[in-house]
Amino acid sequence: MHFSYDLEATLTDEERAAESIIAQWRDRELKDDLYNAVIHDYFANFDKIKNSKVYEILEKMPKGAIHHLHSSAAPNIDSYIGLTYKDCVYFNERERLFKVATNGLEEEGYVRCVDMRRFSSSPEAYDQRLRDFIRMTPAECASKEEHAIWAHFQHKFTLTSDLVKYDKFFRIILRDILLACYKQNVFIVELRYIAGLLMGEERRPIGLKEELEIIEEVYTELKREQGIKEGEFHLKLIISGLKIIGRPHIQSTILQVIEGRTYSNLIAGYDMVNHESVTQPLLYFAPDVLEGKRKDKECLPCFFHCGETHERHNQNIYDAVLLGSKRLGHGFQLFLHPHLQQVVKERDICIESCPVSNLLLGYTTDLRNHPVRYLLAKGIQASISSDDPTFFGYDGVTMDYVMTYVAWELGIRDLKKLSLNGIAYSSVSEEEKKRLREEVFPKRWNAFIQEINTTYAQAL
Ligand SMILES: [Zn+2]
């Protein structure tokens, strides 16, 4: 049965009317018999999509959660540009690397951004130049081949890494990420987070306890400043290890989950990241994961990246399921494994689908044929996430909803279900889920439907 069929009988006349209004906007702005915005070049159509009423409407739609979002690739790109106005930020154009040095830097190739900006034809031109280093460009994605694209993509994390390591900057970045999500009506943000890198003045390492306290502080301050009521906006961290560094690193990052939980309620569980087609399979790290599960009193909840590959023999989705992964990060290749689809359905495992990421990193060239669309038709559950929106030119997750809304021909029932899945498959407590599902969501959803039927209907 189709993944959202259970909602069919519950839809109100108002919801059906709203569905028709959004579809009319879609047909007017983004798709007709001769034109479809999502099958043309993403970069060329970006402004058109971003400025559409469909985008404006879906930005306001309540979204249960973003399940899959990497912290250093999540802020709006202008958050990074803003940091380059600080005196302590240097950039090496040849290496394409930022460096933060509060006491000055005498290292070959590194020039202070504020100085370079002064020597540029205009500050705007310099900022645009930096933006083009940070985000994926049309030229970098042009090959539409994952290995070629990843060579550029992986470097973006290195390029920005020093900016997010500095605790003062990290606070700004984290606040911007959370605020963008909150403004897009997201209730739960689950951040893939690489812990243990944060540094204070003069590159003083910051311990895990203090690091988690900083995150808690930023989150609490944002809730206070925005007047967010208790239980209406949640942050969770999925501590992530880098597969390329190897097993000792994976073992120590697994221990961060166990140790971190003694300091903070923010930690949801564990994941491992990096380009799946060229790094060790999950099976290679299975002994470390199993050891972590033995040590952890909560049995190390895992949220594994898996199936983000074209390789037929990649077994990571099988191993993710066998290791008890709560959700499947991307799960792109699940369509190749009919038996496993059955298991995923029976165990009620949710796919964290990241459509724009899959498009730009070369996993599909046409979102209408994205495998998750078929899996939804078979009754497998998914949620929508943005993975690395900084590098794709946006923040939050609205762009992914717009792209899938058009490409997958979603109805209001599907949008509602994707949003509710955000809550259902999140790692907040059962009590918090109940509050979100029964109190927060209905109120916001009804207001959203009403707004479509009034504000957006009149303009048609
Ligand atoms: Zn990811």
In the structure, what pLDDT confidence band is assigned to residue 374 with cuts at 50, 70 and 90? very high
C-alpha of residue 271 to centroid of ligand 1, in Å: 10
In the structure, what pLDDT confidence band is assigned to residue 99 with cuts at 50, 70 and 90? very high
pLDDT at 223: 98
Q: Which residues contact 166 (CB under 8 A, 6 or more apart)?
A: 88, 100, 199
Residue 33 DSSP SS3: coil
Per-chain residues with Cβ under 5 A from ion ligand 1: 387
pLDDT at 428: 98
227, with CB counted inside 10 A (0-12, 13-18, 19+), is exposed
Contact 272, 304 (CB under 8 A): yes
Sign of CA dihedral 113, 173, 63, 349: positive
Asked whether the predicted pLDDT for residue 405 surpasses 90, the reply is yes
Mean pLDDT confidence for 397-412:
98
Spatial separation of the C-alpha atoms in residues 202 and 215, rounded to whole Å:
20
Mean pLDDT confidence for 442-451:
98
C-alpha of residue 69 to centroid of ligand 1, in Å: 7
217: number of Cβ within 10 Å:
12
C-alpha of residue 457 to centroid of ligand 1, in Å: 37
Asked whether the predicted pLDDT for residue 345 surpasses 80, the reply is yes
CA 382 to chain CA centroid, nearest Å: 14
Asked whether the predicted pLDDT for residue 459 surpasses 80, the reply is no
Pick the CATH number of 48-79+182-443 from 3.40.190.290, 3.40.47.10, 3.40.50.1820, 3.20.20.140: 3.20.20.140
Does an H or E element contain 228, and which?
Answer: none
C-alpha of residue 429 to centroid of ligand 1, in Å: 23
C-alpha of residue 438 to centroid of ligand 1, in Å: 30
Residue 65 DSSP SS3: strand
Spatial separation of the C-alpha atoms in residues 446 and 18, rounded to whole Å:
11
Inter-axis angle of helices 398-407 and 13-29, to 10 degrees? 90
pLDDT at 138: 96
Spatial separation of the C-alpha atoms in residues 278 and 360, rounded to whole Å:
18
Mean of pLDDT over the chain: 97
C-alpha of residue 153 to centroid of ligand 1, in Å: 12
In the structure, what pLDDT confidence band is assigned to residue 263 with cuts at 50, 70 and 90? very high
C-alpha of residue 387 to centroid of ligand 1, in Å: 5
- CA angle centred on 172, ends 169 and 175, rounded to 5°: 145
- CA angle centred on 343, ends 338 and 347, rounded to 5°: 150
Identity of residue 196: G
Instruction: Give the β-pairing of 234-242 and 267-273.
Output: parallel
pLDDT at 17: 98
Residue pLDDT, tens place only, 305-322 = 999 999 988 999 999 999
C-alpha of residue 404 to centroid of ligand 1, in Å: 18
Residue pLDDT, tens place only, 17-46 = 999 999 999 999 999 888 999 999 999 999
C-alpha of residue 352 to centroid of ligand 1, in Å: 9
C-alpha of residue 381 to centroid of ligand 1, in Å: 18
φ/ψ (deg, to 5) at 145: -125, 125
Residue pLDDT, tens place only, 48-69 = 999 999 999 999 999 999 999 9
pLDDT at 335: 96
C-alpha of residue 71 to centroid of ligand 1, in Å: 10
Residue 171 DSSP SS3: helix
3-state helix, strand, coil in the chain (%, to 5): 55, 15, 30
In the structure, what pLDDT confidence band is assigned to residue 460 with cuts at 50, 70 and 90? confident
Mean pLDDT confidence for 425-431:
98
Spatial separation of the C-alpha atoms in residues 301 and 327, rounded to whole Å:
10
Mean pLDDT confidence for 137-157:
95
Asked whether the predicted pLDDT for residue 120 surpasses 80, the reply is yes
pLDDT at 33: 86
C-alpha of residue 305 to centroid of ligand 1, in Å: 7
C-alpha of residue 68 to centroid of ligand 1, in Å: 6
C-alpha of residue 375 to centroid of ligand 1, in Å: 19
Spatial separation of the C-alpha atoms in residues 405 and 403, rounded to whole Å:
5
Sign of CA dihedral 447, 450, 452, 456: negative
C-alpha of residue 178 to centroid of ligand 1, in Å: 18
Mean pLDDT confidence for 85-103:
96
Identity of residue 112: R
Residue pLDDT, tens place only, 175-225 = 999 999 999 999 999 999 999 999 998 899 999 999 999 999 999 999 999
pTM: 0.97
- Give domain limits for the chain: 48-79+182-443
Contact 400, 184 (CB under 8 A): no
As beta bridge partners, residue 225 has none
Spatial separation of the C-alpha atoms in residues 11 and 16, rounded to whole Å:
7
105, with CB counted inside 10 A (0-12, 13-18, 19+), is middle
